[in-house]
Amino acid sequence: MLKKVVIIGPESTGKSTLCEQLAQHYETTWCPEFAREYLLTNGINYEYDDLLTIAKGQLALEDEYTQALERNSLPMLEDGGHLPLFIDTDMYVMKVWSEFVFNKCHRYILDQIGEREYDLYLLCNIDLPWVEDELREYPDPHTRKKLYQIYKDIMLNQTVPWVEISGDYEQRLAKAITAVDQLL
């Protein structure tokens, strides 16, 4: 059975980097964030309904990666267990984004939060320095802290195991590997 590990948190907290590092460490694959490609292709001036399109695109991408791993008989660990799929972003991220920017969230996104199953969340803290990027919107420390607290509250109020990931890139990777090893 495929284990799914989701990496979440505010923007510029090293989510994509951590996904890539974990996939390399475990010699498996990771599912990128659909929103990045969507916004680079369609422009950064998005509207509320664009978030629904992005959410559906993210889930389709996740399903594509899941099916590809399952078709290829899933990479195996030495003990016979399956390597995980690392996922950069899920519907909690879409919910936070929708509510933070537009003060509302599409029903579809909320329904998918209830329907999708994951095995572990890695919540990236805001303790990395902000990295400027054409798609990032909230560089000020107050807003970053507020967004992080929203994510942490979500983690505290859901049932999937989760681990806070903080420190420099090396420390983050070590903490994430420890958490994933415990899951496996």
Q: Where are the domains of the chain?
A: 4-183
- Cα separation, 89 vs 7, in Å, equals 6
CATH code of the domain occupying 4-183: 3.40.50.300
State the pLDDT confidence band at 118, using cuts at 50, 70 and 90: very high
Of 60-69, 107-116, 125-134, least confident by mean pLDDT is: 125-134
Average pLDDT, the chain: 90
The answer on pLDDT for 136 being more than 80 is: no
**Mean pLDDT along residues 26-34:** 92
In the prediction, which pLDDT does 94 show? 96
d(CA 71, CA 60): 16
Query: What integer is the mean pLDDT of 168-176?
Result: 96
- Categorize the per-residue pLDDT at 74 as very low, low, confident or very high, splitting at 50, 70 and 90: low
Residue 160: band (very low, low, confident or very high) from pLDDT cuts 50, 70, 90: very high
Would you call 87 helix, strand, or coil by DSSP?
Answer: strand
The C-alpha torsion from 68 through 93 and 177 to 4, rounded to 10°, is -30
Please report the DSSP string for 149-178 in residue order. Answer: HHHHHHHHTSSS-EEEE-SSHHHHHHHHHH
The pLDDT value recorded for residue 44 is 84
The pTM for the full model equals: 0.91
- Whether the per-residue pLDDT at 125 is higher than 90: the answer is yes
Residue whose pair of structure tokens reads 């980097």 in the numeric block: 17
pLDDT(137) > 80? no
- For position 81, what pLDDT does the model report? 59
